[in-house]
Amino acid sequence: MTVVAISVNSMNKFYGGFHALKDINLEVARGEKVVICGPSGSGKSTLIRCFNRLEQHQSGSIEVMGTKLDDNVDHIDEIRREAGMVFQNFNLFPHMTILENCTLAPILVRKKSRQEAEKTAMQYLERVKIPDQAAKYPGQLSGGQQQRVAIARALCMAPEIMLFDEPTSALDPEMISEVLDVMIGLAHEGMTMVCVTHEMGFARQVADRVIFMAEGSIVEEAPPAEFFDSPKNERTRAFIGQVLGH
């Protein structure tokens, strides 16, 4: 039995006259891990940002956890509560401590008590292995630590789905693995994940499906073994060659 987490039907997105996403059809099952890759400008970040209305699509439909994404603000809020997002630039709130970053939305949006929210936050901070930094400000942490806090912050909202938008692209090489470790742990626990990333090792290890995008379209999608070993499309082959070829 599979329950659909995200379902996208003939969705199109324009920036003015520019056709950014072309006729996207995609279904992500509950518990599934999907990695989206592709050259820069292919629309992969735009696609993932359409899932929680950080970008607005112009035609077609998007449904997240059974809620239709339309202009109804209640629907948008519902979806945003259920889909946590991790950004390339962390986007922690610099004027709040790590703990406050993690408790703000649960208190305001989920209406939790401060005590309860702090308890949950400390659990997640422990899971990303930085409980001792709770009283510090984001600016006092390294990039890898900040990104792990960002993951904990999203998890504190108890989301059904986690969206990762190039979570390791802004990190120094030695910090990438500490973030990937957290993501792998999350995957093993059965979280539904959609990751835009260039980390092909991660894709091979945890993805159920890899999607390759180019020029605003989904060019190929396949399980990782098939995707990496026998890609069908020529552009996919070229891309894999570039990413893995040296």
Q: Which of residues 96, 122, 158, 184 is near another protein by CB under 8 A?
A: 96
Quote the least distance from Cβ 19 to another protein, whole Å: 23
b/e code 103-134 from CB counts within 10 Å (16+ = b): bbbbbeeeebeeeebbebbbebbebbebbebb
Among 13, 33, 44, 81, binds another protein (CB under 8 A): 81
Interacting stretch for another protein, rule CB under 8 A, among 59-67, 105-113, 212-220, 224-232?
Answer: 105-113
Q: Is 9 exposed, middle or buried (0-12, 13-18, 19+ CB in 10 A)?
A: middle
Q: How far is CA 235 from CA 4, 88, 195, 201, in A?
A: 29, 25, 20, 20
Does residue 44 belong to the site contacting another protein (CB under 8 A)?
no
Q: Does 16 bind another protein (CB under 8 A)?
A: no
Quick check: 236 and 193 in contact, CB under 8 A?
A: no
- What track of x and - describes contact with another protein for positions 133 through 172 (by CB under 8 A)? ----x-xx---------x--xx--x-----x---------
**Contact call for residue 52 and another protein (CB under 8 A):** yes
Cα 42 to Cα 45: distance, rounded to the nearest angstrom:
8
| C-alpha to C-alpha distance for 25 and 217, rounded to whole angstroms | 9
Q: Is 57 in the site for another protein (CB under 8 A)?
A: no
Question: Applying CB under 8 A, does 91 fall inside the site for another protein?
Answer: yes
List of residues contacting another protein (CB under 8 A): 52-54, 77, 80-81, 83-85, 87, 89, 91-96, 104-105, 108-109, 137, 139-140, 150, 153-154, 157, 163
